[in-house]
């Protein structure tokens, strides 16, 4: 495992060690170690087919791993913790003939919430969300986004300690994506651990305190977003009036010239020696920017350009479908 080593099951809401899951000859999960600190928002980032869903299903006890151990809220039998866990699967599913508030209450009842309480909470949640008029409607009469919201409420109606969301943003428009982000933050503020998978880096970057980058069934990185970004040196972009001079010798060897500007990673000794050389050589500094790399850059570096390319394709396809 890259990142922290689990200290105790009390501090980690989810733990997996040496998890392996194969389908035929395909190793969907290939020796994964993961630890999700309690109370954090933890993202699992990776392209489609990276093994995110299989990993989540294994951690939740829907499927058993071929090898390895897992624990959910400190319990090695995940279903024993069902009352404390909420799960939104990637493939959304609801009974079409069920009324919206009944669907929320039913999902709560599955996880031990009394039906009466579930109904009351469901009505309140739908009302607060502006869907009060749809509470009595059968699911088949709701829009896709509304049905998805109903399912999300069903995931949290029993007030779980851990919420697992598999691609929660897929199929939602920008407005509802924003609402979902707010809801996730709100749950985290209440001390709930949120573990979600996504192939959209922006969501992970905005929401997560920690991310696990998965590619090819393996975790390539597990740590904070800052740690992921710190794996790359800041990028310097320099534009000078003169294109040549003695000062050029101060530029790093891997410097690229692009669009009339110099691009290079911030040298380990800092920017000051270069600045001094530029000033002494009268290079004529027109602009100088030092940018901290984003999660996307970190992902590219960690998971490899091939995985990043696949993610971009996935994202484009999703946007086109939306």
- Binding region for other proteins (CB under 8 A): 21-23, 57, 60-66, 77-80, 82, 85, 87, 89, 91-98, 106-107, 109-112, 115, 151, 154
Residues 166-205 as b/e (b if ≥16 CB within 10 A, e otherwise) read: bbbbbbbeeebbebbeebbeebbeeebbbbbbbbbbebbb
Least distance in Å: CB of 264 to other proteins? 48
Least distance in Å: CB of 173 to other proteins? 21
Least distance in Å: CB of 82 to other proteins? 5
CA atoms within 13 A on the CB side of 44: 31
H/E stretch holding 33: strand 26-37
Q: Which is nearer to other proteins, 58 or 134 (CB)?
A: 58
Least distance in Å: CB of 99 to other proteins? 11
Q: Which is nearer to other proteins, 101 or 247 (CB)?
A: 101
Residue 80 makes CB contacts below 8 A (sequence gap 6+) with none
Q: Which is nearer to other proteins, 29 or 180 (CB)?
A: 29
Least distance in Å: CB of 90 to other proteins? 8
Strand ordering across the sheet containing 261-265 = 256-258, 261-265, 235-240, 285-291
For residue 99, give the 3-state DSSP assignment: strand
Q: Which is nearer to other proteins, 83 or 312 (CB)?
A: 83
Q: Are strands 210-215 and 41-45 parallel, antiparallel or unpaired?
A: parallel
Least distance in Å: CB of 38 to other proteins? 20
Q: Which is nearer to other proteins, 115 or 290 (CB)?
A: 115
Least distance in Å: CB of 66 to other proteins? 4
Residue 45, number of CB atoms within 10 A of its CB: 33
Q: Which is nearer to other proteins, 2 or 62 (CB)?
A: 62
Residue-by-residue DSSP string for 121-141? HHHHHHHHTT-GGGTTSBGGG
H/E stretch holding 286: strand 285-291
Q: Which is nearer to other proteins, 46 or 61 (CB)?
A: 61
- Separation of alpha carbons 219 and 115, rounded Å: 40
């Amino acid at each position: 495992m890259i990142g922290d080593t689990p200290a105790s099951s009390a501090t980690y809401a989810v733990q997996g060690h040496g998890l392996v899951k194969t389908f035929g000859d395909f190793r969907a999960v290939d020796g994964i170690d993961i630890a999700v600190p309690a109370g954090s928002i933890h993202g699992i980032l990776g392209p489609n087919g990276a093994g995110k869903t299989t990993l989540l299903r294994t951690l939740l006890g829907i499927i058993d791993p071929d090898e390895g151990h897992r624990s959910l809220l400190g319990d090695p039998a995940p279903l024993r913790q069902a009352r404390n866990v909420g799960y939104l699967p990637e493939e959304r599913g609801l009974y079409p003939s069920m009324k919206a508030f009944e669907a929320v209450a039913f999902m709560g009842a599955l996880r031990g919430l009394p039906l009466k309480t579930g109904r009351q909470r469901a009505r309140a949640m739908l009302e607060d969300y502006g869907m009060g008029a749809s509470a009595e409607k059968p699911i088949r009469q709701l829009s896709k986004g509304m049905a998805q919201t109903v399912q999300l409420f069903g995931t949290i109606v029993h007030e779980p300690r851990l919420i697992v969301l598999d691609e929660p943003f897929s199929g939602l428009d920008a407005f509802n994506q924003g609402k979902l982000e707010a809801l996730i933050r709100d749950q985290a503020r209440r001390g709930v651990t949120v573990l979600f998978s996504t192939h959209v880096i922006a969501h992970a970057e905005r929401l997560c305190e920690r991310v696990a980058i998965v590619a090819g069934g393996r975790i390539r990185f597990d740590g904070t977003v800052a740690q992921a970004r710190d794996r790359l040196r800041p990028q310097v972009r320099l534009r000078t009036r003169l294109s040549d001079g003695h000062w050029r010798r101060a530029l790093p060897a891997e410097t690229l010239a692009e669009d009339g500007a110099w691009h290079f990673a911030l040298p380990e000794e800092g920017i000051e020696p270069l600045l001094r050389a530029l000033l002494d050589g009268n290079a004529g500094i027109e602009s100088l920017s030092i940018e901290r790399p984003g999660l996307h850059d970190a992902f590219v570096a960690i998971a490899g350009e091939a995985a990043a390319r696949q993610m971009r394709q996935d994202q484009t396809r999703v946007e086109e479908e939306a």
